[in-house]
Structure 1
């Protein structure tokens, strides 16, 4: 989007073309959301790979036509330098087109990182990391985090507790 804003009226058509092409890829992924892994893989091979190929050719051509120091030129060069990454999701129906879920998962850590500078010991920092990992894994398994942690604390106070059964992915099966 910055590249589009910085391109001015003359260059915004180029940015619009690229954004529109990327939107086609995302629309296709929306249609595939509830499909099987096999169907996603086959459809990506049939539809996403050609779209990505067109986008790559456009990037290569545009890199020759756009000044490299402009926002659009920088965006084009960045895409070309990272090209293997966008292609990777087409190789496996389990993969997602982007890493937005992971980005959302680490957002609390990014926001809180200044607070963690004051961890008094490495052990305290490690304990925080373990706790956050458990919380994010509980979220990923669609657990109510508060109830999950409270249940774990209750059960951990009992003798002969099976810790394996308290892991979020096991707990979700209960």
Structure 2
């Protein structure tokens, strides 16, 4: 049952996504939704994750961008505590 609930927002939003504006807009939406769902699967609050990443991203080295992925972000937070 949990799996069905997980895809429900995708099914409900399907018609809305026909109007994302452009192919780039669709890709951006897919990226954000993927990050949010990954956070949920890892037990991370998606809002806290996105806020934390957006606050750090401008100062973060591009070569270390993988450190901002949800699983690495969670590990860094756990190590800091």
Q: TM-score, normalised by structure 2?
A: 0.81
Aligned equivalent of 1:74: none
Q: Post-superposition shift, 1:135?
A: 0.3
How far 1:156 sits from its partner (Å)? 0.8
> In the aligned structure 1, how far is the partner of 2:54 from the partner of 2:61?
14
CA 1:139–1:130 in 2, change beyond 3 Å: closer, same or farther? same
Give the number of equivalent residue pairs. Answer: 75
Segments of 5+ residues of structure 1 without an aligned counterpart are: 1-99
1:102 positional shift: 3.2
Change (3 A) 1:142 1:114: same
Q: Tell me how far 1:111 sits from its aligned partner.
A: 0.9
User: In the alignment, what sits opposite 1:119?
Assistant: 20
2:40 alignment partner in structure 1: 139
Deviation at 1:106, TM superposition (A): 1.7
Matched, 1:152 2:58: no
What secondary structure, in the 3-state scheme, does the structure 2 residue paired with 1:173 have? helix
Question: Where does the alignment leave 5 or more consecutive residues of structure 2 unmatched?
Answer: 77-81
2:68 aligned partner: 166
Between the aligned partners of 1:160 and 1:116, the Cα distance in structure 2 is: 33
CA distance 1:159–1:137, shift in 2 (3 Å): closer
Mark the CA change 1:101 to 1:170 in structure 2 (over 3 Å): closer, same or farther.
farther
Report which of the two structures shows the higher radius of gyration computed on alpha carbons: 1
Could you say what the CA RMSD is over the residues aligned between the two structures, in angstroms? 1.5
Please state whether the residue corresponding to 1:117 is helix, strand or coil.
Answer: helix
Q: What is the alpha-carbon distance in structure 2 between the residues aligned to residue 152 and residue 105 of structure 1?
A: 24
